[in-house]
Amino acid sequence: MAPRASFKGFLRLSLVSVPVKGFTANNTSSEIRLNQLHSECHSRVKYQKICPTHGELATDDIVSGYEYAKGQYVVIDPAEVSKLRKTSEKAVDIIGFIHPDQIDPKYLSGRTYYFLPDGPAGKKPYQLLHTVMEEDGLVAIGSAILSGRQQMVLIRPFDELIGMSILSYAAKVRGTDELVEELAETEISDAEMELTRTLVAASTLTEFDYSEYKDDYTDQLEQIIQAKIDGQEIVAAPDPEEPKVINLMDALKASVENAAGAIASKSTKKSAAKKRKKSGAG
């Protein structure tokens, strides 16, 4: 079953408008949501909106407000808030193109959409835009109105697709200055620096496939749920041992040896797996 588009509009560059439909890249279907229950009867807990003076309230009795002083509120009417919301033009406006290293990844908010051309008219300009960004190593900064608010976005190639990632405004991302001040200057010897470089070199991956990394928490939670349904006893995993505090140089030397051995072992396993695949195909 084809995914359902969550966005339909235009990708706009100057006078060129590319009709597109967007699909959320974030897959939440595998997430497990637990409900709160009463510990005695296991009935699901419900939340009621209560005024400490007048008791339970209906939705129509509730307004929004801002606490400007302790216990003092100014009421904000929904109509006043709605005036701040922009009318959605269903357009993603490209402000300009930059190199990827010109935007700090810390501004990526985690929400991403994949675009497809919406109809025959969008296919050629979509392909042209994708090809130029891909071949010239560029991404685009843009703006879009989403949920009534103007958002900054990063438009970039994703394999054969064009995608859009929502950006946080710079003012909403905390800087590092106040934390850097907490760092104390530490003397580092040449030997420590050289060993650390050796450790990093030994830990450098020659091959990296992010899809190999799985969400162990979700898998383990599924096993617990199924065991509960089947009436099995849950056995807790032993707590990991606390790391021992040892001399830094000794720790670096041991880490270099462990890292080199682990990567060599992983490389051997991958080579063996590839050989098995080839022999099986033959």
CA–CA–CA angle 27, 29, 31 (5° rounding): 100
pLDDT digits (tens, 9 = 90+) for 56-115: 999 889 989 999 899 899 988 877 777 776 665 688 999 999 999 999 999 999 899 999
pLDDT, tens digit, for every residue of 18-48?
999 999 988 777 778 888 888 888 889 888 8
- Give domain limits for the chain: 7-26+85-170, 187-277
What letter would DSSP give residue 99? Answer: -
Instruction: Assign domain 7-26+85-170 one CATH number from 2.40.290.10, 3.30.56.10, 3.90.1170.50, 2.60.40.10.
Output: 2.40.290.10
Q: Are 7 and 25 in contact (CB under 8 A)?
A: no
**CA pair distance 166, 113, nearest whole angstrom:** 9
Question: Which residues, other chains included, contact 3 with Cβ-Cβ below 8 Å and sequence gap of 6+?
Answer: 23
* Per-residue pLDDT at 136: 97
Under the banding of pLDDT at 50, 70 and 90, the label for residue 270 is low
What DSSP string runs through 218-263?
HHHHHHHHHHHHTTPPPPPPPPPPPPP---HHHHHHHHHHHHHHHH
Q: Contact, 206 vs 266, CB < 8 A?
A: no
